[in-house]
Each structure stands twice: as structure tokens, then as C-alpha cells.
Amino acid sequence: MLSERDRYRAWYGGIAGASFVVITQLVTRDTFNVPHQVAIIAFAITSPLAAMFAVWPARYPMGAQPIPVRNAMRTLAAITTLIFCVGVGAVFWSFNQIAGITYTGTTFLALLIAGSVARATEKRNSSAERSLPSRGDTLGSDDVGIGSAGDPSRPPPPNT
């Protein structure tokens, strides 16, 4: 399973690369209609931000930042992803309206599903964390809450 750092690198590296590819393709056009102009502006915004997010976790892990900074970065990351989706939607719209509407609908559906999965995972993780004993509970001073065989739900073996 990929770490949070690797997921950020993969996702935002992909966005930066895709933005660059689309911009290089649009540069070869003789004329630009409104959807092309919207796409160029969207990718001009997302390219540098996505490149920053692709390398950001390598130097400053998200968990090592103060909570206001972490929340601001996550908000900016979400906005970057949404602007990227607008740019891709504009490219589809430039082909025809049906393609643009289809892309918008499936993107909206994908975001709903991803949000639902993220909320369920967060709820599951938070309930699992509440069931773990804290450091001050019955664990020895050397234990940090990991039980037998690395299973956090099992109590650690007794000290002999």
C-alpha cells in the first residue's frame, strides 16, 4: 500500500504531467475558442501547484506541519484538483457539448463516490483509534500500543 506521501506524489505528478501535455497540444492550434482558453487558464494554474504538491511531501510531510498550515495545504490541494477537472472538462467541451456534459456528470459521480469512501474510511479509522489503549493505560513503559504480532487490537504480552 502506498504511503500518503507516495499518493500525493503520484496524483499531483500526474496532474502536472497531464496539464503540460494538454498545453503543448493546444499550443499547436491556430485558433482558440472559449473552451480552449478556459483550459489553458486552468492548466496554467494547476501546473505549478500540482508540481509543488508532487514534491512538497518529500521535504515537509503533511503531518509535520501545524494544523492551520496542514488544513490550508489540503484546501489548496483540493482546489487544484477541482481546477484541473475544470480544465479537462473544457477540453472535452471543445469537442462537443455532449462530451463536456458526459465528463462533468461522471466527474461529479466519481467525486461523490470518493467522498463517501473517504468518510467511511475516516470513520472506521477514528473508531479503531478510540479502541486502542492510550500510553497511560495498562501498557508497560516500553510499549506504545502495539499488541502481539503487530496487531493493535490485541493486548501486548505480559512482561516476565
pLDDT digits (tens, 9 = 90+) for 102-155: 999 999 999 889 888 888 888 887 776 666 555 544 433 343 334 444 445 555
Cell of 130: 478510540
The answer to whether residue 18 scores a pLDDT higher than 90 is yes
| Single-letter code of the amino acid located at 86 | V
Residue 16 pLDDT: 93
Percent of the chain having pLDDT more than 70?
Answer: 74
**Domain tally, the chain:** 1
Residue 124 pLDDT: 81
Is 43 part of a structural domain of the chain?
A: yes
List, in order, residues 6 or more apart from 124 with CB less than 8 Å away.
none
Is 159 part of a structural domain of the chain?
A: no
Task: Give the DSSP per-residue string, 94-126.
Answer: HH-HHHHHHHHHHHHHHHHHHHHHHHHHHHHHH
- Decide which of 20 and 128 is more confident: 20
Chain mean pLDDT for the chain: 79
Residue 143 pLDDT: 39
Range of the domain at 35: 4-95
Is 61 part of a structural domain of the chain?
A: yes
- Looking at residue 160, what DSSP letter applies? -
Q: 64 vs 4, 34, 54, 57, 69, CA distance in Å? A: 13, 42, 17, 10, 10
Percent of the chain having pLDDT more than 90?
Answer: 40
Is 124 part of a structural domain of the chain?
A: no
The answer to which of 9-13, 50-54, 148-152 has the lowest mean pLDDT is 148-152
- pTM over 0.95? The answer is no
Residue 150 pLDDT: 47
Q: Is 136 exposed, middle or buried (0-12, 13-18, 19+ CB in 10 A)?
A: exposed
Is 129 part of a structural domain of the chain?
A: no
Residue 141 pLDDT: 39
